């Protein structure tokens, strides 16, 4: 641990280069797989994934270790907070690209294909008779006839699940600050269960969409936006749930105290972010 004067500078670490190699392997493998070199691609991709997981265990492990020894001062804590905050902001922009695609197709590309504005001739000569509507899989009806997921069944349930998980994690946070260890563990554990249940329902919904509704990734622009948005959100819920499990284990081990629990708060922020994205999804993908 390098401690220079009043500042804290971490010592050198092997994890960044391991992370870079892991990412590289993962992407080389994935690319080969997509290009048809299935077995080679999957092997390299798997190796990359294992390297990334090992890196995360090692890197976070060493940071936790350093934190437990009290190496981090208030300034480091603020840097961590800023890091997490602006990381979440970049995630918001990432989702923004896909929401932008959804709004653009609903408000501009589908009406234009239907002959609105500058699209009159396109409609008349290329796709005469295509009437703009949403949901749509386009004038060529790519993927064939399909139906959409009714919002007031599983999606509504999932909304309630995520909303209550936001409440439970807040209760857990208050319990942590008040020093109620039992309540902290119960409510954080509840949050994990709610997240896992959400994922279980999401999987069920995907199976339902593929087997009964003929709603797939190939279902024109509706299927594309539906699965891209809910899929990336689901991926984030998965990551968030794993993070919650790690935090729960750390609470069991007594890693946090009422003043010093940045990791807990970072995961809580992330979880609220995932929750807000879901609310937008529920509104714009399912209801409207």
Partner 1 sequence: MAHDAALPHDDHAHADPKGFIHRWVMSTNHKDIGTMYLVFSLTMFFIGGLFAMGIRAELFKPGMQLMQPYFFNELTTMHALVMIFGAIMPGFVGLANWMIPMQIGAPDMALPRMNNLSFWILPFAFVLLLSTFFLPGGAPAAGWTMYPPLVLQGGDDVAFMVFSIHLMGISSIMGAINIIATILNMRAPGMDLLKMPLFCWSWLITAFLLLAVMPVLAGAVTMLLTDKFFGTSFFNAGGGGDPVLYQHVFWFFGHPEVYIMILPAFGLISEIIPTFARKPIFGYKAMVYAIACIAFLSFIVWSHHMFTVGLPIGSELFFMYATMLIAVPTGVKVFNWVTTMWRGSMTFETPMLWAIAFVILFTIGGFSGVMMALVPADFQYNQTYFIVAHFHYVLVTGAAFAIIAAVYYWLPKWSGHMYSEFWGKVHFWNSAIWVNVLFFPQHFLGLAGMPRRIPDYNVAFADFNMVSSIGGFLFGATQLVFVGVIIHCVFFSKVRAPAKVWEGAHGLEWTLSSPPPHHSFVTPPVIDNSVLAHGDVMH
Asked whether position 87 contacts partner 1 by CB under 8 A, the answer is yes
For partner 1, the closer CB: 168 or 225: 225
CA dist 128 and 169 (Å) reads 54
28-36, 184-192, 245-253, 257-265 -> range binding partner 1 (CB under 8 A):
28-36
Mark residues 66-85: x for contact with partner 1 by CB under 8 A, - for none: ---xxx-x-x--xxx-xx--
The residue within the footprint of partner 1, chosen from 40, 58, 60, 109 (CB under 8 A), is: 109
For partner 1, the closer CB: 130 or 198: 130
For partner 1, the closer CB: 76 or 156: 76
Minimum CB distance to partner 1, residue 141 (Å): 9
Of the candidates 11, 127, 50, 86, the one whose C-alpha atom is nearest the C-alpha of residue 273 is 86
Minimum CB distance to partner 1, residue 167 (Å): 29
The residue within the footprint of partner 1, chosen from 44, 51, 67, 137 (CB under 8 A), is: 137
Asked whether position 269 contacts partner 1 by CB under 8 A, the answer is no
Q: Which of residues 228-257 bind partner 1 (CB under 8 A)?
A: 228
CA dist 130 and 141 (Å) reads 10
Minimum CB distance to partner 1, residue 230 (Å): 13
Q: Which of residues 170-229 bind partner 1 (CB under 8 A)?
A: 217-218, 220-225, 227-228
Asked whether position 5 contacts partner 1 by CB under 8 A, the answer is yes
Asked whether position 11 contacts partner 1 by CB under 8 A, the answer is yes
Asked whether position 61 contacts partner 1 by CB under 8 A, the answer is no
87-95, 167-175, 245-253, 257-265 -> range binding partner 1 (CB under 8 A):
87-95
Minimum CB distance to partner 1, residue 171 (Å): 30
CB 220 within 8 A of CB 141: yes
For partner 1, the closer CB: 227 or 248: 227
């Amino acid at each position: 641990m390098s401690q220079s004067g009043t500042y804290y500078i971490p010592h050198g670490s092997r994890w960044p280069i391991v992370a870079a190699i892991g990412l590289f392997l993962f992407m080389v493998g994935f690319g080969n797989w997509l290009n048809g070199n299935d077995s080679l691609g999957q092997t390299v991709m798997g190796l990359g994934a294992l390297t990334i997981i090992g890196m995360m265990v090692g890197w976070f492990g060493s940071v936790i270790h350093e934190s437990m020894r009290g190496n981090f001062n208030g300034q480091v804590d603020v840097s961590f907070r800023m890091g997490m905050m602006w990381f979440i902001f970049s995630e918001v922009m990432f989702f923004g690209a896909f929401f932008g695609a959804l709004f653009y197709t609903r408000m501009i590309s589908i009406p234009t294909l239907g002959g609105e504005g500058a699209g009159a001739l396109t409609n008349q000569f290329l796709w005469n008779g295509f009437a703009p509507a949403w949901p749509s899989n386009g004038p060529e009806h790519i993927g064939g006839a399909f139906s959409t997921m009714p919002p007031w069944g599983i999606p509504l349930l999932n909304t309630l699940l995520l909303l209550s998980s936001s409440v439970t994690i807040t209760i857990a946070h208050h319990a942590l600050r008040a020093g109620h260890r039992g309540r902290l563990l119960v409510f954080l554990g509840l949050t994990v269960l709610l997240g896992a249940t959400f994922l279980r329902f999401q999987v069920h919904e995907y199976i339902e969409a593929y087997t009964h509704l003929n709603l797939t990734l190939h279902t024109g622009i509706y299927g594309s936006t539906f699965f891209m948005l809910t899929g990336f959100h689901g991926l984030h819920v998965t990551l968030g749930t794993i993070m919650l499990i790690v935090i729960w284990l750390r609470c069991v081990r007594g890693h946090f105290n009422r003043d010093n629990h940045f990791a807990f708060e970072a995961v809580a922020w992330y979880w609220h972010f995932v929750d807000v994205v879901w609310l937008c999804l529920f509104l714009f993908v399912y209801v409207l």
